[in-house]
Amino acid sequence: MWLVVVLVGIVTSTSNAYEFSLPRIPRRSKSLSPRLAMTSTSSAEDSIAVAVTREDGNNKKLLKALESRLAGRISVLEVPCIAHADGEDYALLAEKLRSERWDYVAVTSPQAAIILNSAWDSVRDDPIPVTAVGKATSEALEEYGIAVSFCPSKAIATTLMLELPATRVTDATRVLYPASAKARTTLENGLRERGFEVVRLNAYDTVSAHWTHIQRTNAEKCQVACFGSPSAVDGWLRNSNNNTTVLAACIGKTSADVCRDRGWPKECIFFPDKPGIEGWINVVEEAVDALVSETV
Ligand SMILES: *[C@@H]1O[C@H](CO)[C@@H](O)[C@H](O)[C@H]1NC(C)=O
Ligand SMILES: *[C@@H]1O[C@H](CO)[C@@H](O)[C@H](O)[C@H]1NC(C)=O
């Protein structure tokens, strides 16, 4: 890597002598060494390896989007950090959908869309309005033929709870919320404060994946990891012996806060103001740029 930097220096020195005589001093030389060592041993010498960490099979959209935006600059490796399991209330979901009056079903992740679809046949002919937290979740629902009637202006629970329109004047608007057992109580608490009635079912759970030997080897090559949830961050740490060397490109602030709490240096955490695939890809690009310009 120094060799590459020096060569670039020589090439650019014809146009700007200062670039060669005054090389940029890395701010964090401590963390720089493992990353530099890795680049020189990676097979694609010029591309930065980026890990996608959602559940096995759920990374395709992000992977494609990254490869088209950052073509030639990165190679994307699948390193699943989470896996999904049924939650303790899963068995109640179909019956709850069918047997009570609901004004909305609230869906806050693509995984919740998969879970809802598996129970949706009980109401498919007389569907309940569905609210999705953001674009990726909406698309997942629509792929299953489940119509989305409301999507908030920002893809986070706080915005959904503030913006979801009440549909009843005299009695409470009723929301069924099939959630991850690990989801915080932000959404149901906020809606209840606005006078909604919310029934939360812990319909699925998010657990750490266990890396195979190949996945571990791939993870060690990566200089950037994409984290789509706090569980993905924890899955990464559990499988890597708490290694926080990788730059964390987070889908939003919630995952970024968890990285900071778990010991990542602030300058190694990247997250967009507006959560979503688009902003996520932007911050992966920022992380890649930071590696190239050696500002991390
Ligand atoms: C941490 O992971 C990086 C790759 O992301 C690797 O190069 C480094 O050796 C690891 N450090 C430890 C202490 O395992
Ligand atoms: C990783 O960190 C967690 C929490 O600080 C700790 O409980 C665990 O033992 C650590 N694991 C390893 C392998 O160091």
Which residue's CA is the nearest one to ligand 1's atom 8?
34
Give kind and range of the element (H or E) at residue 49.
strand 48-52
Atom of ligand 1 nearest to the CA of 241: 14
Residues 42 and 217: beta-carbon distance below 8 Å: no
pLDDT averages per 10-residue partition of the chain, 296 residues:
39 33 37 41 67 92 93 95 96 97 96 96 96 95 97 95 95 97 95 98 95 97 96 97 97 96 97 92 97 88
Please tell me the distance from the alpha carbon of residue 23 to that of residue 138, in angstroms, as a whole number. 48
Q: Tell me how far the alpha carbon of residue 152 lies from the centroid of ligand 1, in angstroms.
A: 39
Residue 241 CB less than 6 A away from ligand 2: yes
Architecture of domain 28-81+209-295: 3-Layer(aba) Sandwich (3.40)
Residues 174 and 102: beta-carbon distance below 8 Å: yes
Q: Where in the chain is the domain with CATH 3.40.50.10090?
A: 28-81+209-295, 85-206
Residue 251 CB less than 6 A away from ligand 1: no
Residue 245 CB less than 6 A away from ligand 1: yes
Secondary structure of 213-246 as H, E, C letters = HHHHHHHHHCCEEEECCHHHHHHHHHHCCCCCCC
What is the reported pLDDT for 241? 96
Which residue's CA is the nearest one to ligand 2's atom 5?
262
Residue 220 CB less than 6 A away from ligand 1: yes
What is the reported pLDDT for 114? 95
Please tell me the distance from the alpha carbon of residue 50 to that of residue 92, in angstroms, as a whole number. 39
Q: State which CATH number among 3.90.550.10, 3.40.50.300, 3.20.130.10, 3.40.50.10090 fits the domain covering 85-206.
A: 3.40.50.10090
Please tell me the distance from the alpha carbon of residue 230 to that of residue 255, in angstroms, as a whole number. 5
Q: Does the global pTM surpass 0.85? A: no
